[in-house]
Amino acid sequence: MIKSKLPHVSTTIFSVMSQLATEHQAINLAQGFPDFDADPELINRLNFYSSQNYNQYAPMSGVEKLRVLLSEKYSHLYQSEYDFQHEINITSGASQAIFNVISTLIHPNDEVIIFEPAYDLYQPTVELFGGKIVPIQLTYPDYSIDFTILKQKITDKTKLIIVNNPNNPTGRILAEDDLKQFEQILKDTNCYLLADEVYEHITFDGKPHHSFALLNAVKDKIFIVGSFGKLFHITGWKIGYILAEKELMKEFRKCHQFNTFSTHTPSQYAIADYLEYPEHYLQLNDFFQQKRDFFIHGLKSTSFDVLPCEGTYFISANYAKISDLPDNEFAKQLTEQHKVATIPISAFYHNKKDDHVIRFCFAKKDETLLNALDNLNKV
Ligand code: PMP
Ligand code: GLN
């Protein structure tokens, strides 16, 4: 018998709900991935590079053209300068970047602050390296950060604060003032901050994304993570990236080189070509806002109470008017009986806090959303 390093962890809720959806032939609004295809132009670039002998190891830091373009993108959008040689690395998905930041920083008994509901990767990874999570619960239903509580929770053991903005699963985004508060905290303490910004280009109603890359004064304490899976509708390619100041990146690379060494080569070349055209990502806001509005409009005639959604391609809803089942049972019932799979939000709390809320992914064809709404109207 293996002595488990993660005795309390079971299969992730994304796999569980996707499998349940398949078993019951339900519409999968659970796991976050688009059901429409990526731009054929991008697929053509991938085919091109894999048929032209771009099939050997990429550099450990990633394909140069891709890093140069990322450097230009951050300079242009946020006036923040990341040197493509020493401060940018391509990773095998944002997941690997996050895992690797935690492996780089966390020693046994270090404390890591997370905000719950939190993306499910953070806690087990911290624990794998002997760290301890210090969860701060965002207050339901507005899910905003109480900075007084945050300051109280920071101790001399706090090594890292993980912030996901735009936030999965709550759909909330940080305001400029929130970033200022984080900036002051980083100035006053010895903590590092991991900014998970995979939904950077999915914000709504004209609200801008305030990237942690804007905080130039504390750049030496911040790791920024992004995902091309979210940016270009290619979650299965698993290509992400990390930006961090030179000294941080030096340590990050020590772990990264033995964790995976490098990342799928032809995908990096294809993405680099596609990234040359900013319209490929600057139009995401409008594209997903149309889907969000369509889905919210359809939910109005159901008994679900929809929570605000300022960003990401997820929207949450309270089902207390429909059922008093715990959220995981309700999500199971919804999948089996009404053929719509969702994610129960308690999965994102260390103590399985249950507010009777489930998460829908609306990164789907209008036709899929319409069919799902049809079923949800009968609940
Ligand atoms: N962070 C968040 C908040 C996510 O929702 C996801 C899922 N895409 C990831 C990280 C992981 O991204 P990737 O698929 O690029 O590993
Ligand atoms: N990020 C996606 C979500 O939140 C799922 C990624 C995964 O399946 N691990 O649904």
Mean pLDDT of the 54-61 span: 98
Give the separation between CA 101 and CA 98, rounded to whole angstroms.
Answer: 5
The atom number, within ligand 2, closest to the CA of 14 reads 8
State the pLDDT at residue 139: 87
Around ligand 2, the residues with Cβ closer than 6 Å are 12, 14, 31-32, 168
Ligand closest in space to the Cα of 92: 1
> 316-359 pLDDT, tens per residue?
999 999 999 999 999 999 999 999 999 999 999 999 999 999 99
Look at residue 103 in the predicted model and tell me its pLDDT: 98
Task: Spell out the domain ranges in the chain.
Answer: 13-38+281-377, 44-279
Give the right CATH number for 13-38+281-377 from 2.60.120.260, 3.40.50.2000, 3.90.1150.10, 3.50.50.60.
3.90.1150.10
- Closest ligand relative to 314 C-alpha: 2
The pLDDT score that the predictor gives to residue 15 is 98
Q: Nearest C-alpha to atom 12 of ligand 1 is from which residue?
A: 94
The whole-number pLDDT of residue 228 equals 98
Residue 161, pLDDT > 90, answer: yes
pLDDT tens per residue across span 192-238: 999 999 999 999 999 999 999 999 999 999 999 999 999 999 999 99
pLDDT in tens, 109-140: 999 999 999 999 999 999 999 999 999 999 88
Mean pLDDT to the nearest integer, 149-176? 98
Peptide bond into 166 cis (omega under 30): yes
Task: Give the model's pLDDT for residue 160.
Answer: 98
Return mean pLDDT, the chain.
Answer: 98
Residue with the smallest CA separation from ligand 2 atom 4 is 32
CATH of domain 44-279: 3.40.640.10
Task: Indicate if ligand 1 lies below 6 Å from the C-beta of 164.
Answer: yes
The proportion of the chain whose per-residue pLDDT surpasses 70, expressed as a percent, equals 100
This model's pTM is above 0.95: yes
The pLDDT assigned to 225 comes to: 98
Among 223, 227, 271, 313, say which to mutate for ligand 1: greatest number of ligand atoms within 8 Å of CB: 227
Out of 230, 241, 314, 361, mutate this one to test ligand 1's pocket (max ligand atoms within 8 Å of CB): namely: 230
pLDDT digits (tens, 9 = 90+) for 235-282: 999 999 999 999 999 999 999 999 999 999 999 999 999 999 999 999
369 lines ligand 1 (CB under 6 A): no
